[in-house]
Amino acid sequence: MSSKLILLSVFALTFTCLALAYEPAPLQGFCVADPNSSVKVNGVVYKNPMQVQAEDFFFSGLHLRGNTSNAVGSKVTPVFAAQLPGLNTLGISMVRIDYAPCGLNPPHTHPRATEILTVLEGTLQVGFVTSNPENRFITKVLQKGDVFVFPVGLVHFQRNIGNGYATVIAALSSQNPGAITIASAVFGANPSIPSDILARAFQMDKSLVEELQAKF
Ligand SMILES: *[C@@H]1O[C@H](CO)[C@@H](O)[C@H](O)[C@H]1NC(C)=O
Ligand SMILES: *[C@@H]1O[C@H](CO)[C@@H](O)[C@H](O)[C@H]1NC(C)=O
């Protein structure tokens, strides 16, 4: 192979990886989702551009605190393509997250998005864990106005360590970031992952695994 050809192959490979790492760039100005279409594509089929209205690019209600009366004491209010059809194909979305005192947004990952978060109110401990084999825990306490980024795919959490409620707004680099909450995915799978598998993986007693599975 000539060096030119090798260089070209490397370039093509790099380009492919880059293309796979992001959502497809829109080939038109916008592509407002038509949730009623039965056709399935990577994203949502778009409605007739001539029928698009301002409402298609609009969402209201992010000034309202989410209901944090649940086992973890936090609530995510999503503004994804499902809630705001104009986000379809644009590769971006946002959430509001509320935390009751001592509330936790438990360890989870977004398979398709990096998340950048800004604290509007309160004090939070945030953290993420780097990938194998280091699994380094990176953590920081954030105050109002602070910004923190959770790289795509990494396990992360936020915990309210202030006295009152805490609120953040976060932007995500996908119209549909996806979320995998570690505890419920592992111990709350439906049907259950066999307890001997989890006992071996977590190096703990099977009865303890079954106790955890019963909680989800
Ligand atoms: C989807 O169908 C419902 C019920 O027919 C209708 O009210 C709504 O406007 C439709 N949405 C779009 C985006 O066409
Ligand atoms: C908040 O959620 C709890 C638990 O689901 C429910 O009992 C309560 O009525 C909700 N509160 C409001 C204001 O919706």
The share of the chain scoring above pLDDT 90, in percent, equals 78
CA of 70 to the centre of ligand 2 (A): 8
Q: Whose CA is nearest to atom 13 of ligand 1?
A: 34
Spacing, Cα 18 to ligand 2 middle (Å): 44
Q: What is the mean pLDDT of residues 107-132?
A: 97
Q: How confident is the model at residue 16 (pLDDT cuts 50, 70, 90)?
A: very low
Neighbour tally for 76: CB within 10 Å = 14
Tell me which residue has its CA closest to atom 10 in ligand 2: 67
Mean pLDDT of 135-141: 98
Alpha carbon distance 149, 15 (integer Å): 25
Closest ligand 1 atom to Cα of 56:
13
Indicate which residue's Cα is closest to atom 10 of ligand 1.
36
* Three-state DSSP class for residue 50: helix
Residues 6+ apart with CB under 8 A from 202: 209
User: pLDDT band for position 125 (50/70/90)?
Assistant: very high
Q: Contact 66/96 with Cβ under 8 angstroms?
A: yes
pLDDT tens-digit series, residues 202-216: 999 999 999 999 998
Instruction: Choose one of 36, 44, 47, 84 to mutate for the ligand 1 pocket test, by most ligand atoms within 8 angstroms of C-beta.
Output: 36
Residue 9: both structure tokens together: 């192959």
Cα–Cα distance for residue pair 189/171, rounded to 1 Å: 28
**Between 25 and 31, whose confidence is greater?**
31
Instruction: Grade residue 200 by pLDDT with cuts at 50, 70 and 90.
Output: very high
Which ligand is in closest contact with the Cα of 53?
Answer: 1
52 lines ligand 1 (CB under 6 A): no
Show the domains of the chain with their CATH numbers.
49-177 (2.60.120.10), 186-215 (no CATH)
Answer yes or no: is the C-beta of 88 below 6 A from any ligand 1 atom. Answer: no
Look at residue 35 in the predicted model and tell me its pLDDT. Answer: 86
Query: Percent of the chain scored above 70 by pLDDT?
Result: 90
End-to-end CA distance of the chain: 57
Model pLDDT, residue 41: 79
Encode pLDDT of 161-178 as tens digits.
Answer: 999 999 999 999 999 999
Contact 66, 79 (CB under 8 A): no
Model pLDDT, residue 168: 98
Which two tokens mark 10? 């490397």
What length does the chain have? 216
